[in-house]
Amino acid sequence: MSPSAPAPPVDFAFALDVDGVLFRGGASNPIPGSPEVLAALQHHRIPHVLITNGTGILEAEKAREIQDMVRSYVADEAHTEAASPAAAAYTLPEDAVVIASTPMRSLVTHHGWAKKRVLAVAWTSEFALRSARAYGFENVVTVDEYLAKHPVLVAGNFVDAPVHTEPGHWDDVEPIEGVLLFHLTLGAFRESLATLFQLAVGRKLETIQFGKPFPEMYAYTERALALQFYRSTHGTDPADIQQDLPLPGTIYAVGDNPLSDIKGANGRGAPWTSVLVRTGNFNTDAPNDPDNPAAMVCDDLLQAFRQIAAAHGLPLGEDLC
Ligand SMILES: [Mg+2]
């Protein structure tokens, strides 16, 4: 069995949530059918980006994790019959992964923040520094460095505590001259800080929220998909990577969480089309989510892919290729 000849470029794309769509809990537990779908997306040259609110890992590491998941799935004898040979050659590039903090890259590429001083906060200063540098920030200060320089700002009993690990999930905070950038899970932290900032400084704290369902995440993902779409239709990179490139006619956002995946895609509007799957957060018998109804509801990614491919007239073999 060998893959058929690649199909011509298609006019649709996928933005796939990860946990609850591709795997449950971790890459060692792939949801049946998802490795085949990923391999088929690559085989048919269908632009696809993984879009997750997960953090704490660099995009390149997450890409490698998913790539290995697909390849080891096909290498597993139990799956050999079901898996496409295309899965063995599956490659997921770093720029096909958008985690909650990835859109911060655009602050450097589109807003000239490369040299601005940034206080980067994550669960460790080492990761905060690595992450900010990977995004192109050149003037990065960590919490450890800041505290070492201004110990008087911290109450005595905190000085002895590992302050940078205390916030736990309060990752991806980057205050810059009164501007704060942060991740969705920071809602409570943001409210507290905004109140303290208002009291101490006397003006409103400016903030930008990243992650799903916020618009920055979708704008960034559109650029990533537009670049893949250009490559699939032209066979090469655009001369000017900054230019606005055309989007595919439809972007299918497949997710398991109505509050983030579906709400975000619905809020962004055309060409986004929301697809809710029952393999994670949403696992009831209800026909749809009542508060954030999706345009399509499917049992899993495999069923969604088959329906969408059929709707676009894409012929699929038994192995989806
Ligand atoms: Mg999910």
- The DSSP code sequence of 39-63 is HHHHHTT--EEEE-S--SS-HHHHH
pLDDT at residue 145 in the model? 92
Q: Is residue 2 domain-resident?
A: no
Give the pLDDT mean for 199-209.
90
Q: Is residue 318 domain-resident?
A: no
| Dist. CA 245–CA 224, nearest whole Å | 10
Identify the band that residue 188 occupies on the pLDDT scale cut at 50, 70 and 90: confident
**CA 291 to centroid of ligand 1, rounded, Å:** 17
**CA 278 to centroid of ligand 1, rounded, Å:** 10
pLDDT greater than 70 at residue 179: no
Main-chain phi, psi angles of 183, to 5 degrees = -95, 155
If asked whether residues 199 and 230 sit together in one domain, one would say: no
pLDDT at residue 79 in the model? 67
**CA 21 to centroid of ligand 1, rounded, Å:** 6
**CA 171 to centroid of ligand 1, rounded, Å:** 19
Identify the band that residue 116 occupies on the pLDDT scale cut at 50, 70 and 90: very high
pLDDT greater than 90 at residue 17: yes
**CA 149 to centroid of ligand 1, rounded, Å:** 40
User: At CA 160, angle to CA 159 and CA 166, rounded to 5?
Assistant: 80
If asked whether residues 186 and 61 sit together in one domain, one would say: no
If asked whether residues 32 and 86 sit together in one domain, one would say: yes
**CA 66 to centroid of ligand 1, rounded, Å:** 15
pLDDT greater than 70 at residue 150: yes
**CA 3 to centroid of ligand 1, rounded, Å:** 30
If asked whether residues 243 and 304 sit together in one domain, one would say: yes
If asked whether residues 247 and 199 sit together in one domain, one would say: no
Higher pLDDT: 174 or 195? It is 195
Query: How many residues does this entry show for the chain?
Result: 321
**CA 10 to centroid of ligand 1, rounded, Å:** 26
**CA 280 to centroid of ligand 1, rounded, Å:** 7
Main-chain phi, psi angles of 141, to 5 degrees = -115, 135
**CA 17 to centroid of ligand 1, rounded, Å:** 5
**CA 229 to centroid of ligand 1, rounded, Å:** 25
**CA 160 to centroid of ligand 1, rounded, Å:** 37
**CA 120 to centroid of ligand 1, rounded, Å:** 26
If asked whether residues 251 and 301 sit together in one domain, one would say: yes
Write the burial class of residue 41 (CB in 10 Å: 0-12 exposed, 13-18 middle, 19+ buried).
buried
Cβ contact 70:28 at 8 Å? no
**CA 15 to centroid of ligand 1, rounded, Å:** 12
**CA 226 to centroid of ligand 1, rounded, Å:** 23
If asked whether residues 218 and 290 sit together in one domain, one would say: yes
If asked whether residues 78 and 223 sit together in one domain, one would say: yes
**CA 303 to centroid of ligand 1, rounded, Å:** 17
Identify the band that residue 55 occupies on the pLDDT scale cut at 50, 70 and 90: confident
Identify the band that residue 84 occupies on the pLDDT scale cut at 50, 70 and 90: low
Closest CA to 177 of 143, 155, 147, 207: 207
Which of 157, 183, 210 terminates a domain? The answer is 210
The mean of the pLDDT values for the chain is 85
If asked whether residues 66 and 124 sit together in one domain, one would say: no
Q: Is residue 16 domain-resident?
A: yes
If asked whether residues 65 and 118 sit together in one domain, one would say: no
pLDDT at residue 186 in the model? 61
Cβ contact 265:217 at 8 Å? no
Which of 19-28, 183-192, 275-284 shows the lowest per-residue confidence on average (mean pLDDT)?
183-192
**CA 22 to centroid of ligand 1, rounded, Å:** 9
Q: Is residue 316 domain-resident?
A: no
**CA 230 to centroid of ligand 1, rounded, Å:** 28
Q: Is residue 123 domain-resident?
A: yes
Which of 210, 239, 261 terminates a domain? The answer is 210
If asked whether residues 173 and 109 sit together in one domain, one would say: yes
Q: Please count the structural domains in the chain.
A: 2
Give the pLDDT mean for 176-194.
63
CATH number of the CATH domain containing 21: 3.40.50.1000
What residues make up the domain containing 85?
12-100+214-311
Which of 210, 235, 256 terminates a domain? The answer is 210
Identify the band that residue 288 occupies on the pLDDT scale cut at 50, 70 and 90: very high
Q: Is residue 281 domain-resident?
A: yes
Q: Is residue 321 domain-resident?
A: no
